[in-house]
Amino acid sequence: MDVTVPARVEKVPTYCYQCVAGPDLLKVIVRDGIAVGVEPNADVAAEHPACGKVCVRAYGLVQKLYNPARIRTPLRRTNPRKGRREDPGWEPISWNEALDLLAGKLRALRSTGLVDAAGYPRLAATFGSGGIAPAYLGTFAAFLAAWGPVDQGIGSGQGVKCYHSEHLYGEFWHRAFTVAADVPRCDFVLSFGYNGDASGGVTGVWRHAEARVRGLRWVQLEPHLSVTGAGATEWVPIRPKTDPAVLFALLHAVLLEHDWRAVCDVVFLERMTSSPYLVGPAGWYLRDPGSGKPLVWDRDRDRAVPFDDPACVRPALDGEYIAAGVEVGADGVRRSLSERVRPAFQLLLEHVRPYTPEWAAEIADVPAATIRSLAAEYLASATVGATIEIDGVTYPHRPVAVLLGKSVCNGWGGYEACWARTTLAALVGALEVPGGILGTAVRLNRPAQNRLDSVRPGPDGFMDQPLNATTREHWQAAPHIRNAYRTLVPLAGNSAWSAALGPAHLPWLFLEDPPEHWPAPTLPDVWLIYRTNPAISNWETGRIERDLERFPFVAAFAYTQDETNWYADLLLPEATDLESVQLYRVGGTKYIEQYWHHAGWALRQPVAASACDTRDLTDVATELAARVGILDGYLEAVNRGAGSTVPLRGEGWDFALAPGSRPAAAEIWDRVCRAATASLSGGRDVRDLEWFRRNGAYFVPFETRNYFLHGTMVAKGLRYELPYQERIKRMGEELAARLHERGITWWDVQLDEYQPLPGWRDFPGIWRGTAAAHGRSAAEFPFWLLTSRSMQYSWGSNVSLPILADVARNVKGHFGLMLNRGAAERLGIAEGDLVEIESPTGRTRGRAILREGVRPDVAVALQQFGHWATPFARELQMPSLNEVASMDLALTDATGSGADLVPVAIRRLDR
């Protein structure tokens, strides 16, 4: 008699952090030891802002686990020649051999010296995926911390592909590494290309849907109709890279076509911004000669007084006054004066005067009447004077937000767009208050867990910011890593994130085009890579491959073969999302739109036996540390919290690892679990790894008031440095002086960005100029090639999963090049035709997808493709912007960023 044994089914809690819109919490269904599915984690529905749900990518995790194309065992390259047509000749080896090989290289490097003759670290490490790698790195960060100098600034697209100006300026202005609308309390959103329904993750999509039901008006200005645009109230098809022009015209309309005293939040401008600060003729704040404090004009006493004089209740915002004081310029040069000065706000009024809606209409192809009507609606929706009570605290309620998308807030024009957006918020007091625009995370400032705690008083009544020094005494003249962020980008600061936020494409660019008066470009002796594929995700992929051929030793933690690890010397099979253990912070506020009412920790854990010979990255880090001879330093780094962000010793608890031990990953994470819960509960609760394995996550409440900087700013008496920015002017002039003292002039164009009040430049013309730079005519390239996000494929690591292709086939725009139907017909291109896309520096091809929702001068290729080595992805035949974008200093802004925007020609290849 057959006996049917019932299947043993478990539901294992874990987290997904495949994109920056997470982490999100889920359960993996495991039947008889085999992972068979994914479902929402209903246990955390009360804590998670999207009720424990996950997006489509998380449903691919099971396929990712059992993908037959995975790297299954360590592989050593046997072909010393590197090239796209050179088979690496992979030879399977044991983990012991692989770690011996890598540790031997690293030991040799330590004995030679940690930095090379040019001053650059001999060891480099690149982790991609837009900042999510730390959720998968285990304790590898502790290994790097124990190692010493490591170049973590060789880019894989970060910097040129992110919200770069928003990251740097946003955090400078209002602790906003990324900016989100307070969607649940917002009534009107002006979105310049913000594609949150593709990039905002399950929480973003959830919030937007709820708000649409409530009646939120969302106006989407972008050159093609994205997924987010398709759900908007209105689409305005703006010309690419002209967003600052429309934003400047909105400022003009608000300030000069309305009575600003009646429509703006004057009290906010007076007390919370630099608007009343008097500015001298040389552009520096007029300061009190004794205290050095910036002066404002007291309208009641008719004289200049320090900005923080409590008796001054009515500082002037406009007008012109004769006042005495000092201007303190770059490098501390002082000049006493007694002459005409104006409040910063008056300078703003004059600055935006030329930017009429008619002027912007010419540039941006957006009717002047539309701009005026958007300005009027913005003002009408701002409800200046209204308040709202949250958790017993009364706040201003300003339910309006301007959002910026990728390619708007990075590259040339990014600073101007971010400044105009944030100034528009400040004008109606919609900055960091309910309903308005809010920061999400901090990355350059610390502490990272609650951005309110990162608000520290700085100079002149503004927040402090850890800028890289530009003074003669303290400027870092010699780049300490190859992207030179401390030397070239004051705003990048020097946090653990700064290396990735510098000009991360410069190391690639300089290898072929070394700049003058600069250390010779060198390659790292050993390059470690994980979850990154710069041969696909960076610009000018052909250049990247040429450079990759020269790297002496590359060790890649590899999921499948891909276009970058094709050039590696050693492949180490990755223990994927469902195969390794790590405790990670969740909750609080975090990009993209994660605003929780709880904060805590979640566990990622192995759900089933691996089909591959993988090792947990924590075990790899421990073993490498031992073999390299830095074990005790590594253990101490783990004890300090490197890799986990929680120290293992605290007040009343000590879970620290003993020197000389070789703890397994489970032991390390058990200690982290206990330290994390003890730390969060003030020592009351201590949960171990077993508890997390069963329960998945541990939370404490996180108050809504933590979303808004406003209360902290008021309590600390601080202002936002807007609209006028003396600090930006100062760092620009000092940086120019430092570079010129060394004969460096190749960064001069970038230095122009440091304007206290930024103005319009012909931003699209900067990209059109690439044609002439390569001996071609701009007229040959009449289309703009753009990218756009796909929820299925953003962050790229899912390109080898058929399940996501199946979903993507149901979303318009995948697997081809989107073109305007009328424009295509004029070129004789029909739906499905193979077309060639040519730029001044390259060619790519794809099948035409014809739509009405694309401007006639625009073509759109989703995401980043062009794979030729990655299994399954290489069959998708998606066109790739990166194959035709050129890597060029002229396309690099002062923050070291660029934008996905290429002038191209398009022609039919066959039918």
**Length of the chain, in residues:** 911
In the complex with ligand SF4, which residue's Cβ is closer, 55 or 154? 55
280 binds ligand SF4 (CB under 6 A): no
Q: Nearest approach, Cβ of 130 to ligand SF4 (angstroms)?
A: 11
Cα(351)–Cα(318) distance, rounded to whole angstroms?
13
Cα(381)–Cα(397) distance, rounded to whole angstroms?
10
- In DSSP notation, 681-738 reads TTTS----HHHHHHH-EEEEE--GGGG-SHHHHHHTT-BB--S--HHHHHHHHHHHHH
Cα(272)–Cα(317) distance, rounded to whole angstroms?
12
Q: Nearest approach, Cβ of 28 to ligand SF4 (angstroms)?
A: 13
Cα(767)–Cα(860) distance, rounded to whole angstroms?
16
x/- string (CB under 6 A) for ligand SF4, residues 73-112? Answer: ----------------------------------------
Q: Nearest approach, Cβ of 33 to ligand SF4 (angstroms)?
A: 24
571 binds ligand SF4 (CB under 6 A): no
In the complex with ligand SF4, which residue's Cβ is closer, 180 or 891? 180
CA 746 to chain centre: 26
In the complex with ligand SF4, which residue's Cβ is closer, 11 or 84? 11
User: Which 749-778 residues touch ligand SF4, going by CB under 6 A?
Assistant: none
Cα(415)–Cα(263) distance, rounded to whole angstroms?
26
- Map tokens 């390109």 to a residue: 799
Q: Which of 569, 489, 547, 501 is nearest to 157 (CA)?
A: 501
Q: Which amino acid is at 287?
A: R
Q: Which stretch binds ligand SF4 (CB under 6 A): 10-18, 116-124, 462-470, 730-738?
A: 10-18
- Map tokens 């109230």 to a residue: 233
Q: Which stretch binds ligand SF4 (CB under 6 A): 52-60, 321-329, 724-732, 886-894?
A: 52-60
Q: Nearest approach, Cβ of 604 to ligand SF4 (angstroms)?
A: 11
Cα(152)–Cα(171) distance, rounded to whole angstroms?
21
Q: Which of 85, 148, 86, 83 is nearest to 122 (CA)?
A: 148
Q: Nearest approach, Cβ of 794 to ligand SF4 (angstroms)?
A: 8
Q: Are 341 and 286 in contact (CB under 8 A)?
A: yes
Q: Nearest approach, Cβ of 798 to ligand SF4 (angstroms)?
A: 9
> 3-state SS string over 531-570?
CCCHHHHCCCHHHHHHHHCCCCCEEEEECECCCCHHHCCE
Q: Which stretch binds ligand SF4 (CB under 6 A): 49-57, 113-121, 216-224, 390-398?
A: 49-57
Q: Which stretch binds ligand SF4 (CB under 6 A): 54-62, 495-503, 667-675, 758-766?
A: 54-62
Q: Nearest approach, Cβ of 195 to ligand SF4 (angstroms)?
A: 14
678 binds ligand SF4 (CB under 6 A): no
Q: Nearest approach, Cβ of 54 to ligand SF4 (angstroms)?
A: 4
In the complex with ligand SF4, which residue's Cβ is closer, 177 or 767? 177
Q: Which stretch binds ligand SF4 (CB under 6 A): 55-63, 102-110, 311-319, 661-669?
A: 55-63
Q: Which of 881, 876, 869 is nearest to 563 (CA)?
A: 869
> 3-state SS string over 105-133?
HHHHHHHHCCECCCCCECEEEEECHHHCH
57 binds ligand SF4 (CB under 6 A): yes
Element (H, E) at 817: strand 817-820
In the complex with ligand SF4, which residue's Cβ is closer, 406 or 730? 406
Q: Nearest approach, Cβ of 22 to ligand SF4 (angstroms)?
A: 2
Q: Which residue is nearest to ligand SF4 (CB)?
A: 22
74: its two tokens: 């360590």
In the complex with ligand SF4, which residue's Cβ is closer, 63 or 373? 63
User: Which 11-30 residues touch ligand SF4, going by CB under 6 A?
Assistant: 16-19, 21-24
> 3-state SS string over 781-793?
CCEEEEEECCCCC
Q: Nearest approach, Cβ of 584 to ligand SF4 (angstroms)?
A: 11
Q: Which amino acid is at 760?
A: W
Q: Nearest approach, Cβ of 430 to ligand SF4 (angstroms)?
A: 27
In the complex with ligand SF4, which residue's Cβ is closer, 59 or 518? 59
Q: Nearest approach, Cβ of 693 to ligand SF4 (angstroms)?
A: 20
DSSP 8-state assignment for residue 103: H
In the complex with ligand SF4, which residue's Cβ is closer, 16 or 859? 16
x/- string (CB under 6 A) for ligand SF4, residues 530-569? Answer: ----------------------------------------
Cα(591)–Cα(450) distance, rounded to whole angstroms?
13
DSSP 8-state assignment for residue 885: P
Q: Nearest approach, Cβ of 782 to ligand SF4 (angstroms)?
A: 37
Cα(130)–Cα(349) distance, rounded to whole angstroms?
38
Cα(40)–Cα(203) distance, rounded to whole angstroms?
13
Residue from 30, 55, 304, 785 touching ligand SF4 (CB under 6 A): that is 55
In the complex with ligand SF4, which residue's Cβ is closer, 204 or 896? 204
Q: What residues have CB less than 8 Å from 616, skipping those under 6 apart?
A: 138, 575, 579, 580, 581, 665
Q: Nearest approach, Cβ of 795 to ligand SF4 (angstroms)?
A: 7
In the complex with ligand SF4, which residue's Cβ is closer, 399 or 600? 600
Q: Nearest approach, Cβ of 215 to ligand SF4 (angstroms)?
A: 26
State the CB neighbour count (10 A cutoff) for residue 765: 11
User: Which 190-229 residues touch ligand SF4, going by CB under 6 A?
Assistant: 201-202
Half-sphere exposure at residue 269, Cβ-oriented, CA atoms within 13 angstroms: 28
Q: Nearest approach, Cβ of 437 to ligand SF4 (angstroms)?
A: 21
In the complex with ligand SF4, which residue's Cβ is closer, 202 or 352? 202
Helices 617-628/665-680 angle, 10° precision: 110
Torsions phi, psi for 895 (to 5 deg): -85, -5
Q: What residues have CB less than 8 Å from 823, skipping those under 6 apart?
A: 856, 857
In the complex with ligand SF4, which residue's Cβ is closer, 199 or 644? 199
* Count of residues that interact with ligand SF4, criterion CB under 6 A: 14
Q: Nearest approach, Cβ of 350 to ligand SF4 (angstroms)?
A: 45
In the complex with ligand SF4, which residue's Cβ is closer, 489 or 607? 607
Q: Which amino acid is at 516?
A: E
Residue from 58, 137, 211, 881 touching ligand SF4 (CB under 6 A): that is 58
In the complex with ligand SF4, which residue's Cβ is closer, 14 or 622? 14
In the complex with ligand SF4, which residue's Cβ is closer, 19 or 899? 19
54 binds ligand SF4 (CB under 6 A): yes
In the complex with ligand SF4, which residue's Cβ is closer, 465 or 533? 533
In the complex with ligand SF4, which residue's Cβ is closer, 22 or 461? 22
Q: Are 325 and 286 in contact (CB under 8 A)?
A: yes
Cis, bond preceding 723 (omega within 30 deg of 0): yes
Contact residues toward ligand SF4 (CB under 6 A) are 16-19, 21-24, 54-55, 57-58, 201-202
